[in-house]
Amino acid sequence: MKLTGRAAIVTGGGTGIGMGISRSLAEAGAKVAIAQPTLAKADAAADILRGDGFDVFPVVVDIRSREQVLAMVTSVIEKWGQIDILVNNAAVTGPKAASPFLEIDDDLLDRTIDVNLKGTFIVSQEVARRMTETGGVIIHVSSVGAFAAQEGASAYCATKAALTGLTKAMALELAPHGIRVNCIAPGDIRTDTSENVEDEIKERGLSGNYLRRIPLNRRGTPAEIGPTAVFLASDDSSYITGETIVVDGGFLIY
């Protein structure tokens, strides 16, 4: 298997796209630390994957806190002695991130920026410091919202666009340390939190006039994002860094 012997951290790895990535990494042979802000969700996801025979480790962390991030990194190193792969998937997204531009208050703005951008930055920084001697792979999870505006998601789109710039800047600076940095931009992926996204958009007073049709004529699944993470984490992508791969069923092609 492509990732046998490697240890990974997936933030937000117990739900939605994160769970799809955690499973795919585990299926490829990686040991996976599932990081969630609550123990219940981390444990629940870990129990599922352990039941399938995978080596997983639940970790509780608020990625906005450098102290908690340092504790997470220390616990993973104490358990497995290494961190080879980091997937920054945790984000404020879906209805929790939705609001008309003129109505976004400071609480929503701060929370979205602190989790989606600042938290990703902090986790990346602390993990990269451990990777400098051994090399490794860091993968950010962005969104098609980085490239195409979404109604009621100005703060979300701004933070996801920022991740494409962060990917390039980190790739440039970390390349001498043998650390590759790439990004995945998923399209409309069906998860528990996005199941009724069209209805929720309209309930929040948004028009819903700017929802795109998907050329493949269906929503994606978390299981269809995981293999891209495996590719970017493996030696199959050994000459790729600083790139964003869009996985969207054709959402952005027109």
60 phi/psi in degrees, rounded to 5: -100, 125
Identify the active-site residue in 156, 210, 239, 254. Answer: 156
> How many C-beta neighbours within 10 Å does residue 59 have?
24
One-letter identity of residue 245? I
- CB neighbour burial string for 155-193, b if at least 16 within 10 angstroms, e if fewer: bbbbbbbbbbebbbebbeebeeeebbbbbbbbbbbebee
Angle at 251 (CA atoms; ends 249, 254), nearest 5 degrees: 125
Query: Does the annotation mark 156 as catalytic?
Result: yes
Among candidate residues 116, 122, 104, 108, the one with its CA nearest the CA of residue 145: 116
Among candidate residues 224, 147, 230, the one with its CA nearest the CA of residue 191: 224
One-letter identity of residue 47? D
**Residues with catalytic function:** 156
